[in-house]
Amino acid sequence: MQIYKVGGAVRDRLLGKPVTDIDWVVVGATTEEMLAKGFRPVGADFPVFLHPKSGEEYALARTERKSGRGYGGFTFHASPEVTLEEDLIRRDLTINAMAEDDEQNLTDPYHGQRDLEDRVLRHVSPAFAEDPLRVLRVARFAARYAELGFKVAPETLELMRQLSESGELEALTAERSWKEISRALMEEQPQVFIQVLRDCGALKVLMPEVDALFGVPQPEAHHPEIDSGIHTLSVLEQSALHKQPLTVRWACLLHDLGKGLTPEEEWPRHIAHEHKGLKLIKAVNERFKAPKDCQELALLVGQYHTHGHRALELKASTLLELLQSFDVYRRPQRFEEFIVACEMDARGRKGLEQRSYPQADYLRGAADVARGVAVQPLLEKGFKGPELGEALKRERLKALKAYKESASS
């Protein structure tokens, strides 16, 4: 029995990055031997075990063969005869197909170390094209390591293109897709993930609503970058630069989908794109079964982001309606995420990345004013039920009018 550290732990050590998760491969062992040593089996698909003390995953060396569609369409074979090289060749990228023994002696049959040095994301073997999930994984690695100068090898991008055209991507489950998408959006440069998906034709399969934004112009006075797709990438980039959470990044990606529906004869204006985009945002949310908080914020940002930009001009009554829509009294965090998503949208424009956004503090102040209206005096006046709700609304409106006047003076 020989045990090797494999995959990301080896890759990240060689890159000088912190190693978090460690995966191990066991060569020359049987399931019975692993159990006898106290390892606990995990799952039924293939022989993976948890270490009795560390809890880390140890997998028997195995080969795999394509047997059906999609990510799960594989037959696995694990036996003591499977070599380390045979196990490594089934992996996605050369930089993930290296192994180390306990003395850090490197096994690198597919030249992963060379590709690390050359900053290349390259597939290990033609079997790469058998697993559609790898399209998303490679795009995610491109986003993670873009800051180090990594690029997808042209021949790997071509295989990704073939996969995108094969219909295999449609076989991915919503859960598997969302796991990759959500992880990619939280990388250092999530816009690279979207760009790579577009470069290989996967974006128009997975998110045609986002793909449709590219080539659609916007008024240059507001959008020096002009192209709606480029703007979306820039907004996503800003959300990462400002360390925003997944909810905000997802909303930033989907906020302008309505612009893809504007007839060409109306370009570059996009009248009512906020309302038109809601059905598209809903469709993308449902396609990937995004978490509820991501779904809700994406829809609210899509509908109200131009309200955010025009916050200083809004009538007090419109401002109150905006605050009510977000339920700022019980869900203050959601309104804060809306504000920062609007700010990312304002900054995601060529040459305007450092612009100030006074609307943010104005909206925060308005929310504080509305929340500051006390209910108790109204109860003491005898208001209850629907009448109490109306009286509270009147008091909040009065407070917001005063706030608006003081802010403009």
CA distance 95 to 111: 8
Question: Phi/psi at 96 (nearest 5 deg)?
Answer: -105, 5
Please report the pLDDT score of residue 44 as a whole number.
Answer: 67
The DSSP bridge partners found for residue 49 are 41, 58
Separation of alpha carbons 407 and 368, rounded Å: 14
Q: What ranges in 207-331 are assigned the alpha helix state H?
A: 208-211, 228-241, 246-254, 273-276, 278-287, 292-309, 316-326
**With 60 as the cut, is the pLDDT of residue 163 above it?**
yes
Helix (H) or strand (E) holding 171: none
The average pLDDT across 385-395 equals 93
**Domain spans in the chain, listed from the N-terminal domain onward:** 1-111, 376-408
Annotation: CATH topology of 1-111:
Beta Polymerase; domain 2 (3.30.460)
Query: 2-12: per-residue pLDDT in tens?
Result: 999 999 999 99
pLDDT at 45: 65
Burial class (CB in 10 A: 0-12, 13-18, 19+), 221: exposed
- What residues does 93 pair with on adjacent strands? 123
Residue 335 confidence class, pLDDT cut points 50, 70, 90? very high
* Averaged pLDDT, 192-214: 98
Q: Output the CA–CA distances (angstroms, integers) from residue 254 to 153, 210, 265, 295, in the order listed.
A: 29, 7, 23, 10
pLDDT recorded at residue 333: 97
Q: Which residue type is seen at 237?
A: E
User: 305 CB contacts (<8 Å, ≥6 apart)?
Assistant: 255, 274, 341, 342, 345
- Report CA 13 to chain centroid distance, whole Å: 25
What's the mean pLDDT in 18-32? 92
Average pLDDT over residues 365-393: 93
Residue 172 has pLDDT above 90, yes or no: yes
3-state percent helix, strand, coil for the chain, nearest multiple of 5: 55, 10, 35
Residue type, 201: G
Q: For residue 310, count CB atoms less than 10 angstroms from its CB and return exposed for 0-12, middle for 13-18, buried for 19 or more.
A: exposed
Checking if the pLDDT of 94 tops 90, the result is yes
Q: How far apart, in whole angstroms, are the C-alpha atoms of residue 290 and residue 272? A: 25
Interval 97-122: pLDDT, tens: 999 999 999 999 999 999 999 999 99
76: pLDDT confidence band, cut at 50, 70 and 90? confident
pLDDT value at position 178?
98
pTM to 2 decimal places: 0.93
379/80 Cα distance (integer angstroms): 77
Token pair 């060409």 in the structure block, residue = 264
The answer, yes or no, to whether residue 142 has pLDDT greater than 70, is: yes
pLDDT of residue 69: 54
